[in-house]
A = this chain, B = another copy of it.
Amino acid sequence: MLRIALDAMGGDAAPRETVQGAVLAVQDAELRRIAGGPFQVVLVGRREEIERELPHDASFPLDLLPIVDAREVVTMEDHPVQACKKKKDSSIVRCHELLKNKEVAACVSAGNSGATLAAALFTCGRLEGVSRPAIVTMVPSVQGVSVLVDAGANMDCRGKHLLQFALMGEAYARTALSFKSPRVGLLSIGEEESKGNDLVFEAQAFLKQVPFNYIGNVEGRDIVNGKCDVIVCDGFTGNVALKSIEGVGELVFTLLKKELSANLFSMLGGFLSASAFRRFKKMIDYREYGGAPLLGIDGISLISHGKSNAYAMKNAVRAVLRCVQYDLNASIQKAILEHGQVQDAKPGPTDL
């Protein structure tokens, strides 16, 4: 039976929402279809705290939610690397040990995202030929969704890293998200090849030689306007862009709410269009997407939003099930070995 590990102690509302998410996940018809039948979610964390949140209904199939006891918890304040080294009995580290030992097919954590990255890297290691694992994030767009890689794992990058991010992001969109021939764009300040910074110019040369649907430079607006499926950038730029997008989403609701309560007409209007707003809000809600998988790790590990509720956790399990069932890592491995082994023309300060 397919097994997924869930860091029951990770996230602002853990273990309540994490356990509830697992309860939803193992009963969900769509998720069972993806998994090819019933599957287990292994709850990793303090046994007594997890048990308190489990359903007491005798008809619930508790065998689908086994517990692996882990006494320590990595907090949001912990230093990622030190926490992984010192808190060996933490839920984050234990999840990745299960993954490394093939006791689970994938794992999910909504805890300290730096620590999740560090645990994945130190415990599971990288796929062959991958120089830097990256975080891929889904972003709502006019046509549904686009993916951005790297969303924040790697600050100072070289062209060869961006090439690998592109290969991994393309494989992710093609397998786990079932995009046909995803369009891959390099994030820059204009569509013209002459526009960009040194990193963009370095990456362009590599990307042109890869046999996927590379559409050249794209701009910030193209992250959400449907022009592109996979947006490639360094983790600093990606993180700034994503948080800017989130910030505008929040601003829009604040301003609209204020304007809609300005007078009786607009209040009535807001009331009548409430369901439209709800649908709109759902479209731009990160909880729908479940989280951000790590690409390039020897194993499927996904970082969930710290504010994830049970619904978001269920969607996170769905996301890793898809990665497992569509064999994401085999696609990444193939792409990296065939097209990802290049050297930048000159070594730089951030060269590995």
Contact = CB atoms under 8 A, between A and B. Distances in A.
A316 B270 CA distance: 34
Given A221-B247, A269-B269, A259 B279 contact: yes
A84 to B, nearest CB: 16
Nearest to A235: B189
A245 B219 CA distance: 11
Contact of A269 (B140, B234, B270): B270
Interface string A231-250: 00111110111111111111
A236 B269 contact: no
A250 B236 contact: no
Contact of A265 (B244, B266, B273): B273
Contacts of A349: 198, 348
Interface string A314-352: 000000000000000000000000000000000011100
18 contacts: A155-B198, A220-B239, A220-B243, A221-B244, A221-B247, A222-B247, A223-B247, A224-B247, A237-B240, A248-B248, A248-B252, A249-B252, A255-B283, A259-B276, A260-B273, A265-B275, A266-B275, A269-B270
Given A189-B235, A224-B251, A245-B248, 12 more contacts: A141-B251, A156-B197, A188-B236, A188-B240, A197-B234, A221-B250, A222-B247, A244-B245, A256-B276, A260-B276, A266-B272, A269-B269
A196 interface: yes
A247 B225 contact: yes
A250 B279 contact: no
Given A187-B240, A220-B242, A197 B155 contact: yes
A262 interface: yes
Q: Is the interface of A mostly helix, strand, loop or mixed?
A: helix
Which of A219, A223, A233, A273 has the most chain B CB within a 10 Å cutoff? A273
Contacts of A250: 221, 224-225
Contacts of A255: 142, 280, 283-284
Contacts of A265: 272-273, 275
A199 to B, nearest CB: 8
Interface string A123-157: 00000000000000000111000000000100110
